[in-house]
Structure 1
Amino acid sequence: MMIWVSILALLIIVVVAYCIVDFKMGKRRFHHNSSFRDYSKRKGDIHLITHGKDLFSFLLTDIKNAQSSIHILFYIVKDDQFSKNFLKLLIQKAKQGIEVRLLLDWLGSHNTPKSLITELRNAGGQVAYSNRLKFPYPFFSLQQRNHRKISIIDGKVAYVGGYNVGKEYIDEDSVLSPWRDYHLRIFGESVHDLQNEFCVNWNQSSKNTVSISEKYFSGPATGNMDHQFFPTEGLRLEHTICELIESAKESICIGTPYFVPSKIILAKLNDALKRGVKIRIIVPKKADHILVKEASFFYFRILIELGAEVYQYLNGFYHAKIIIVDEEVCQIGTANFDRRSIYLNLEINCYIYDHDFIQSMIKVVEKDILDSHRLSLEELNNTKYATKLKELGAKLVADLL
């Protein structure tokens, strides 16, 4: 019996050691080969959407009215009736001769109905899977996901934000509903940037590459709202967040479903609190993944003790991703405030500099805070034993959360 226990223990050690080496070498190789696109400040019209039913009402209508091209990237498309209806609409448009390209994350969308994917391809649409399992570093490749959600219709209107495709995102999940998230509908110059970013991701994932031609950039350059897109791929996001925090003179508001900052970002938040910056953080009370809620408690204790305010959202599941600094810049996009988004995933954020938009966004955030419970240091210091065990486990795998 002891021999078998020893063999099992040795196997576990070998597997863990292999994963660690695979992850570090895979990450190093990716960083060495990475290239990035830098987009300038643009002008356009940006419309905030905070409810899934509203988002898909707009998006599905735009898809139905598409005249030339439909380019869509989602991290997750589920296997439920809503997702099936979404795919059937794409099939219908492909049959009409509209150019349809659907890019899905290989792991995030592994449950997407294969029969409908086949039907979409047979109708003339194209489907590709991003970030497939790759050798020689399979463990690293499984961890790095394409977490972006980008849609561009006819090169004229674009969408980016936190929503995926599934019934929970339209408040039809009994556990997580209502789903609270932020998504942007965009007209103007930056639609070109999102189209370009989609094409880059598509060409990385599909043998049927697409030339980035003028026909995909047909939208008028209308609107006066200053904004800028910033794509990241496991690099640069930490530096950008630190710059935002360092620039703060009065206030920082952070909304995120998962709060697992890097050591450098945590230190910058501490410095901001010490120089008198007011920091408010909104996270969900409910958790949709194991350990992620408890992973944040260590950081919350440090920040609350220095004066930060932490709010747990009570009215459903909070999945929004936002940073507002001094009412001067607002970041909304796909990146969570966690190490997975900072160090691993493909993400894209929009930096908005328009005063009126930021003021309206502050009102949305204030409403979310009213729907939240302010977490106290006493609560965090008196958690249950099971919670303490989860918190300890979360520390061990923090870089993967």
Structure 2
Amino acid sequence: MRVIPLLGVGPRNNLNRAICDLIASSKIQLTICTPYFNLPVAVTREINRALKRGVQVDIIIGDKTANDFFIDPDEPFKVISALPYLYEISLRRFAHKHQKAIAQHRLNVHLWKHGDNTFHLKGIWVDQRYTLLTGNNLNPRAFNLDLENALLIDDPKGQWSEPREAEIAHLMRNTQRVNQYDELDTLANYPEGVRKFLKRVSRVRVERLLYRIL
């Protein structure tokens, strides 16, 4: 078993390449945890390719109410409180595009929710061999601006398989699988302040916002 430290800042850094290469190496199983569903284009591309290769992909993400930007709808509206809904819009589009894979259980989207706790876990597990422990949010900001680090655990003999599987099972305990993309809320279901804000921005501007924010 090897533990490999990784460090990266700015586009096309070593950590970014390692993340994409890790996803590209998956043959059977890929599990990804991210607090914000705002994946860089390169990561989305590799996930799409993994699905085409027949890899089972599990994505664990916090429910919008478990997002650390979530503000109770009864509280006064703030622009920052629209972020969890923007992430949900992005997730809904992704799930819609991959509904066939979801129906076939080749893609499993798990929404994490546990009381009033927030979800801020990040990590990647590949084929019962590789584990990436990182603070990287797997979003455009992390890939382009932030200084990020990680530990890549290469476990070809399965020495760490038991605690690894126990950790994933523990995470899944508080999740609910998305079976249909339309189980996710739409603009009509959002609080009034969020609806008004999102109606003022076009789809293109929403996508630009998502690509520039946390």
Who is 1:397 aligned against?
A: 209
Q: Is the 8 A contact 2:67 2:119 kept in 1?
A: no
Tell me which of the two structures has the higher relative contact order, counting C-alpha pairs closer than 8 angstroms and 6 or more residues apart.
2
Deviation at 1:305, TM superposition (A): 4.1
Equivalent of 1:334, from 113, 116, 135? 135
**Counterparts of 2:187 and 2:211, CA distance in 1:** 24
Q: Which ranges of structure 1 fall in alignment gaps of 5 or more residues?
A: 1-224
Cα offsets for 1:329-366 (capped at 9, x unmatched): 00011101211111111000100123332431222112
**Counterparts of 1:373 and 1:394, CA distance in 2:** 27
**Counterparts of 2:171 and 2:37, CA distance in 1:** 17
**Counterparts of 1:256 and 1:322, CA distance in 2:** 7
Q: Are the structure 2 counterparts of residues 229 and 251 from structure 1 closer, same or farther at C-alpha, using a change threshold of 3 Å?
A: same
Q: Is the 8 A contact 1:292 1:394 kept in 2?
A: no
What are the residue-to-residue correspondences of 1:266-285 with 2, within 5 Å?
266-285=44-63
Identical counterparts, % of pairs: 26
Q: Are the structure 2 counterparts of residues 347 and 325 from structure 1 closer, same or farther at C-alpha, using a change threshold of 3 Å?
A: same
What are the residue-to-residue correspondences of 1:2-401 with 2, within 5 Å?
225-235=1-11, 236=13, 237-285=15-63, 286-289=66-69, 290=81, 291-292=83-84, 294-295=86-87, 296-297=90-91, 298-307=93-102, 308-315=107-114, 316-354=117-155, 355-375=158-178, 376-380=180-184, 383-385=186-188, 386=190, 389=198, 392=203, 394-401=206-213
Q: Which ranges of structure 2 fall in alignment gaps of 5 or more residues?
A: 70-80
**Counterparts of 2:43 and 2:212, CA distance in 1:** 16
**Counterparts of 1:304 and 1:325, CA distance in 2:** 23
**Counterparts of 2:143 and 2:132, CA distance in 1:** 14
**Counterparts of 2:140 and 2:121, CA distance in 1:** 16
Structure with max Cα Rg: 1
RMSD of the alignment, in Å?
2.3
Counterpart of 1:322, as a letter, is G
Q: Is the 8 A contact 1:304 1:310 kept in 2?
A: no
Cα offsets for 1:30-61 (capped at 9, x unmatched): xxxxxxxxxxxxxxxxxxxxxxxxxxxxxxxx
Figure out how many residues of one structure are paired with residues of the other and give that number.
176
TM-score (norm 2): 0.73
TM-score (norm 1): 0.41
* Greater mean deviation of Cα atoms: 282-291 or 293-302: 293-302
Deviation at 1:394, TM superposition (A): 3.9
